[in-house]
Amino acid sequence: MSWGDQAGFVRISGHRIYVESYGGGEEGTLLVVPGGPGLGHDYMHPLADLAPLGYRVVLYDPLGCGRSDRPRSSSARSFRHAVNELDALRRALRLPAPVHLLGHSYGGRVVLEAAVRSPDRFAGIVLASPSVRLPGMDRHWGRMLARLPRRAREFMTRKDPRFDDIWEPGPSNGFRRYREGYEIFVRLRVCRMKVPPYDVVFSLQNWNSDLAESIVGSYAAYYGPSTPEDAARAYAKLKVPCLLTVGEYDSIPPSSVRALRAMIPRAGLATFRRSAHLPHWEERAGYVESIHQFLSRCNPGKARGPRGGGPGRRRVSGRAGRPKVSGRALSPGDRALGGPKRI
C-alpha cells in the first residue's frame, strides 16, 4: 500500500486526524470523505489517480476511524459531528481554492449537508453512491431487496441482535447462515470483483462497528434533524455543481440516486454498468475519467492532461512525484508510519 506524497496527523478539537495528501494541486483540491459510518480512507485510494492530472487529492480517517484517535466519549458519534469535522479539516489544512468534495455512501450524506450549509466554499461536489434519506425511500429499498437471493435478503432484514457483528462467533447454525448471507450481499451489491482489492478488505476488517451501530441506530444521529421532506426542499436550493455516481448493482438503490439527481438543479449522473457499490475499483479507469471530466467543467480553462503527458485523458496511472504540498504541513514526528497494519 502506498502511503502518499505526504502523510501524518492534524489536530482538530484536541484529537489527531490522520491525513494523506497526493499531488501538487495546480488544478485544485479534491477532499474525499469515506463512508460507513466507521470506515477509514484506505478503500478510497483509487481517487489518488487524479494527482497526475494536476489535482491535490486529500484522504482522511474521520475521528473514531482508521488511524485517527478513537475517543471514548460519544461526541464523535453523530452526523452533525461528521459535517463539522469536514469543515474543520478544510480550515486546518488551509486548502486553497478551488476545493471540491467527494463523499462515498454515508460520506455523500456528509458532503451534501456541507454544501447545503456553505455552498460558496466549494467549486463542486461528487456524491458517490450517496446514502441519503428521501421521500419514498422505502419503495426504492423494497424493490432492491426483492431482487436479492433469500440468504442475502435475510442479512439485510436481520432482526436477531445476536448476529449484529459478523466478525464474532454466534450460535453455530445461525451465525453460518448470517455470514453466508453477508458474503452473498457483498459479492452482489458491494464489490463484484473476483479478487477484492487489499485496501477494500483492509477497510472492512478495520471497520469501527461500534461507531457505526451507534450512528446508524439513531435516525437523528445518522440523518440529522431534518425530515426527508425538509431535506428535499434544501437540495432543491443547492447551487453548487454536482455529480452523482452509482453502480448498476449498487447496494444504494440506483433508483434513489436518480430521484436525488432530479431534486438537485445542477446535478449530473454517471452510472457504471458493471459495478456495485465500489465503481472506483470495479471500473477504475472509467470512474476516474468521469470525475476528471466533472472537475474540469467546474474549472473551465484550467484542465489539462497528465503532468508531462499531453492530452491522453485516460492515462491516469502512475506516481505524481513528491511535490511540496501547499497549506499547513502535517504534524512532524507522526509521518513514519511504517506501512499497513491492523488497527
Decide the pairing of beta strands 267-272 and 124-128: unpaired
Separation of alpha carbons 162 and 112, rounded Å: 34
Is residue 199 predicted with pLDDT exceeding 90? yes
Query: pLDDT digits over 290-321, tens only?
Result: 999 999 999 765 544 444 333 333 332 333 33
CB atoms within 10 A of CB 33: 29
pLDDT of residue 11: 95
Domain that holds residue 222: 6-134+197-298
Domain count, the chain: 1
Q: Which residues on adjacent β-strands are paired with residue 8?
A: 19
Contact 55, 29 (CB under 8 A): yes
In a domain, 112, yes or no: yes
pLDDT of residue 338: 31
Contact 2, 323 (CB under 8 A): no
In a domain, 95, yes or no: yes
Residue type, 273: R
In a domain, 28, yes or no: yes
Separation of alpha carbons 135 and 339, rounded Å: 44
Percent of the chain residues past pLDDT 90, beyond the cut: 48
Query: pLDDT digits over 212-253, tens only?
Result: 877 776 555 566 556 778 878 888 889 899 999 999 999 898
In a domain, 173, yes or no: no
In a domain, 245, yes or no: yes
When pLDDT is cut at 50, 70 and 90, the band that residue 21 belongs to is very high
Check residue 328 and report its DSSP letter: S
Separation of alpha carbons 110 and 176, rounded Å: 34
pLDDT of residue 221: 55
Backbone dihedral region for residue 246 (phi beyond 0: left; psi -120 to 50: alpha; all else: beta): beta
End-to-end CA distance of the chain: 15
The DSSP H or E segment spanning 118 is: none
**Collapsed DSSP state (helix, strand, coil) of residue 249:** coil
User: Cell 436550493 identifies what position?
Assistant: 237
pLDDT of residue 183: 84
Check residue 329 and report its DSSP letter: P
Comparing C-alpha atoms, which of 280, 286, 277 is closest to residue 44?
Answer: 280
pLDDT of residue 220: 57
- CATH number, domain of 242, equals 3.40.50.1820
Longest dimension (CA), the chain: 61
In a domain, 94, yes or no: yes
In a domain, 37, yes or no: yes
Query: pLDDT digits over 78-106, tens only?
Result: 888 899 999 999 999 999 888 999 999 99
pLDDT of residue 308: 37
b/e code 283-311 from CB counts within 10 Å (16+ = b): bbebbbbbbbebbbebbeeebebbbeeee
Residue 84 class from Cβ within 10 Å (0-12 exposed, 13-18 middle, 19+ buried)? middle
Check residue 330 and report its DSSP letter: P
When pLDDT is cut at 50, 70 and 90, the band that residue 326 belongs to is very low
Confidence (pTM): 0.81
User: Cell 497494519 identifies what position?
Assistant: 341
In a domain, 332, yes or no: no
Separation of alpha carbons 85 and 241, rounded Å: 22
